Amino acid sequence: MALTFYWYPNCGTCKKAKKWFDENNVTYNSIHIVEETPSKEEILKLIENSELLPKKFFNTSGMKYRELNIKDKIKDATTEEMAEILASDGMLIKRPIVTDGKKVTVGFKEDEFEKHWTEQ
């Protein structure tokens, strides 16, 4: 099964992840995270499958995150509320997000990719 690769083409980290996939012959379907922002339901599923805290899905270094003061908005937010905020703007989502429908990785760390995505 091909992986789903949520990415933003201008993102340097996403470019590194794409290069890694291509060099390791990993099949993936890429989805532009801003043009096709995942829905609240999709984000909830990604959070559930990732075993990560919902806050890990936020692009904390992004301009939108700072402009909209998201840090304060999510301090006491529920997972549902965080998913709703994330679904409102793809630029708020940390990227890339990769999933096979069961496992999920957020961001790009080569050792994590090797561990999760080489045995496809």
**Contact by Cβ (8 Å): 90, 103:** no
**Mean pLDDT confidence for 110-115:** 95
Predicted local confidence at residue 77, as pLDDT: 97
CATH, domain 3-117, list 3.40.190.10, 1.10.240.10, 2.60.40.1250, 3.40.30.10: 3.40.30.10
Instruction: pLDDT band for 1, please (50, 70, 90 cuts).
Output: low
CA 97 to each of CA 22, 47, 64: distance values in angstroms, whole numbers, following the listed order = 16, 10, 18
Predicted local confidence at residue 72, as pLDDT: 96
pLDDT at 108 over 80: yes
CA distance 63 to 30: 24
53 alpha carbon, distance to own chain's centre = 13
Place of tokens 């075993």: 51
**Mean pLDDT confidence for 15-33:** 97
The pTM (predicted TM-score) of the whole model is 0.94
3-state secondary structure at position 24 = coil
pLDDT at 95 over 90: yes
**Contact by Cβ (8 Å): 28, 117:** no
Predicted local confidence at residue 88, as pLDDT: 97
